[in-house]
Amino acid sequence: MANSLGIHIYSHGFDYVVLEGTAKRYSVSSAGSVAFSSSDVEDVKSIAKRIAEISKGFKGNQICLTLSSAAVLNRELGLPFSNRDKVAQVIKFEIESELYHLDIEDVIVDFFELDDGRATSTMSVNALNKTRLQTALDICDAASFDPPLIDLSISSLYSALKSLPGDDVNDQEAYLHIGAECSQLIVLSPGGQMCATRTIPQGWLELVRGVKSPDQEPVEVEENTDESSEEEEANESSMLDLGGDSSIPYGFSFDEALDLCSAADRSVFTQSLEAELRRVLTALNFSGLPLYLLGAQLPGLAEDLSAGLSMQVSPLDLGVTGPNDTVPNAEAFGAALRAVGAEALEMNFRQEEFRYARGIERIEGPLTWAMVGLVFYFAFGMAIDVKLSQQKSADASVIYARARQKVQRLNEQVINTDDYPDEWIIKNDFSANDVPVEEYIHLLNRQVGKAKDQLDQLMGEAAIEMPQSCLEAWRLLMNHIEVEMADYQGKWMIESFEFTSFNKSANEPAHVGVKFGITIFPDSSGQLIGRFDRLQRNLEAQDFTTGQVRIPSTEPASVPEAKTATVEVDILAVNPNLTKKP
């Protein structure tokens, strides 16, 4: 359940009401009145401390502060239109002539429409002194809350009256609320709308006007009256401006005031109030209306007023009670109702420089400058980045142009050389390609790579197994034989060579089959035995041979003592470091 707090602050204290529930269904969970001591009103913090005890735990939008209508200037103003927004635009200019004794910039003006039965709209305009409003807001600030609504007690009283059950009023009715420092008269039209209002500057505090304040120490009468009067003036000037009459002593509750005052004081109060009422009702031409009394219930007041004014006067109970059957203050109750969203007169004095600012509004100024700073920061950073990008783009373009020129020179060589095939021309114009400019060099690199692959394919042996070269086999064989026979003293000669290259098969690797005839003469000692065997054995031990080396037979050569043989050997005519014998 939502909670709302209504606080009515006036010069000598404050009233509060805490409501639980909604505008239509609620209950008073707490209510009370607090009287300020004379020391309280000299310091914002003292008042704030007292209010903070009550306002603690309430969020800003759950609080409505209502200020006393005493010392608020009220004028009625006729206007040809009643739209609130339009009236709000002109009201300050319209009322300025009425408040000729004030600087219009020193007051906050708000209004509500009166249902006075006239053809034109009549606005009840209220001008609240900015100093007083600032004081109230300072108190709230010190009490650590920020009320979005600041109303007047006359308006809060209207909200409280609207909570009364039954709207079927057939005739005008007048309500008199007797407050602490002033009394408020409200006349409602048959439709229940505000018809007329008056603030009578006479509250129940008048009963203790001559009584000493409970916290006031007895002061010896000094001879020098001039000095004492100066001190009083100084004290008055140091007091907070919350309206009301600061000459009335502080610190009295209504019950204490009733106890302290004499019957004569009450009689004087009643007569004075009666006179004021008569004057007001006559001026408003509302004589004879039923009058209901709210607020301070002075014993016998209704009867006295009824007799004196010759009209029906009766006390009115709003029908709400707080804990321990306390009767909540009607103005604070009305303010609490407004905080919870009940019907109200829509006045709110948080205007102009006192406008209520939620969340972001409070940091709007710094945020605006921060945003300006951010915009400049980002924009400046963007400008630098764009400039650098342009520079790098230009550098990249120059590099691409040079690479293209290099390829172009190569192409011109192809064009100018007759025996160069045309397919060797490398494509270097990519303007027709649907790719970003920065990708052109990649395409150019790919084209050059393609040309290289093309040449590799023409020249190279990469992907295919080549037949083995008989020339290489010849070289390997002869190198070995020359080394093998180097230490042989006798003569030897090659008779024939026959090389045949074989492709790789299932049983054997690619190799060169060699048959060569060799004739060996005996050495100086006439020895020849074992030379062919040695040749066969050593050949077989070579890395470049594979399989067995065969010498089918040795035969006598045509020359005496020499022998000849045909040697059959398979040679791996590749780099021996890559292919080792198993």
Partner 1 sequence: MNNRSTLYTLVGLAAAALVGNMWAESNLQKWDDALLSHQRRYKAIWEECDDLEMRREKAPKGSDEQSFRLHFQTQAYTAQMGDINVNVNSRTRSDVEDRIFKIEFAKGDKGFRRDQLRTFLFNAELLYPRVRTTSLAIKPHSEGGRRRGTDTGTERIDLWDVTKLELRQRSPKANN
| 560, 550 contact by CB (below 8 A) | no
| 99, 127 contact by CB (below 8 A) | yes
Shortest distance in whole angstroms from residue 506 CB to partner 1: 14
| Count of helices and strands (H, E) across the chain | 14, 18
Shortest distance in whole angstroms from residue 476 CB to partner 1: 13
> Which of 312, 579 has the CB closer to partner 1?
579
DSSP labels for 277-321? HHHHHHHHT-TT--EEEEES--TTHHHHHHHHHTS-EEE---S--
Convert residues 94-133 into a mask of x (bound to partner 1 by CB under 8 A) and - (unbound).
----------------------------------------
Among 471, 508, 534, 581, indicate the residue that binds partner 1 (CB under 8 A): 471
- What's the rounded Cα separation, in Å, for the pair 119 and 80? 9
If one asks whether residue 578 binds partner 1 (CB under 8 A), the answer comes out as no
24-53 positions binding partner 1, by CB under 8 A: none
Burial class (CB in 10 A: 0-12, 13-18, 19+), 299: exposed
| 344, 151 contact by CB (below 8 A) | yes
Shortest distance in whole angstroms from residue 541 CB to partner 1: 25
Shortest distance in whole angstroms from residue 61 CB to partner 1: 19
Cα→Cα distances 282→193, 277, 289, Å: 20, 8, 11
Shortest distance in whole angstroms from residue 458 CB to partner 1: 6
> Which of 217, 418 has the CB closer to partner 1?
418
Among 327, 410, 528, 551, indicate the residue that binds partner 1 (CB under 8 A): 410
Among 16, 204, 292, 499, indicate the residue that binds partner 1 (CB under 8 A): 499
> Which of 118, 409 has the CB closer to partner 1?
409
Among 42, 213, 557, 568, indicate the residue that binds partner 1 (CB under 8 A): 557
Q: Could you tell me which stretch among 87-95, 262-270, 333-341, 471-479 binds partner 1 (CB under 8 A)?
A: 471-479
430-449 positions binding partner 1, by CB under 8 A: 438, 441-442, 444-445, 448-449
353-372 positions binding partner 1, by CB under 8 A: 360-361, 364-365, 367-368, 371-372
Among 90, 283, 307, 388, indicate the residue that binds partner 1 (CB under 8 A): 388
Shortest distance in whole angstroms from residue 398 CB to partner 1: 9
> Which of 323, 381 has the CB closer to partner 1?
381
517-546 positions binding partner 1, by CB under 8 A: 517, 519, 521
- Give the pair of three-digit tokens for residue 256: 């204490």
If one asks whether residue 497 binds partner 1 (CB under 8 A), the answer comes out as yes
What residue type is 527 in one-letter code? Q
What residue type is 324 in one-letter code? N
Q: How far does the chain reach from its first CA to its final CA, in angstroms?
A: 96
481: Cβ–Cβ under 8 A, 6 or more apart, which residues? Answer: 494, 518, 535
DSSP H stretches of helix in 126-262: 130-142, 153-162, 225-238, 254-260
> Which of 448, 551 has the CB closer to partner 1?
448
Shortest distance in whole angstroms from residue 513 CB to partner 1: 10
- Long-range Cβ pairs for the range 211-220 (8 Å, 24+): 211/249, 211/252, 211/257, 211/260, 211/261, 212/249, 213/37, 213/38, 213/249, 213/250, 213/251, 213/252, 214/37, 214/251, 214/252, 214/256, 215/37, 215/38, 215/39, 215/250, 215/251, 216/38, 216/249
> Which of 56, 446 has the CB closer to partner 1?
446
If one asks whether residue 236 binds partner 1 (CB under 8 A), the answer comes out as no
Among 468, 536, 542, 545, indicate the residue that binds partner 1 (CB under 8 A): 468
> Which of 310, 413 has the CB closer to partner 1?
413
397: Cβ–Cβ under 8 A, 6 or more apart, which residues? Answer: 437
> Which of 169, 551 has the CB closer to partner 1?
551
If one asks whether residue 406 binds partner 1 (CB under 8 A), the answer comes out as yes
215: Cβ–Cβ under 8 A, 6 or more apart, which residues? Answer: 37, 38, 39, 250, 251
- Give the pair of three-digit tokens for residue 475: 């070289």
How many residues bind partner 1 (CB under 8 A)? The answer is 79
- Give the pair of three-digit tokens for residue 139: 């108190």
Q: Could you tell me which stretch among 135-143, 172-180, 229-237, 456-464 binds partner 1 (CB under 8 A)?
A: 456-464
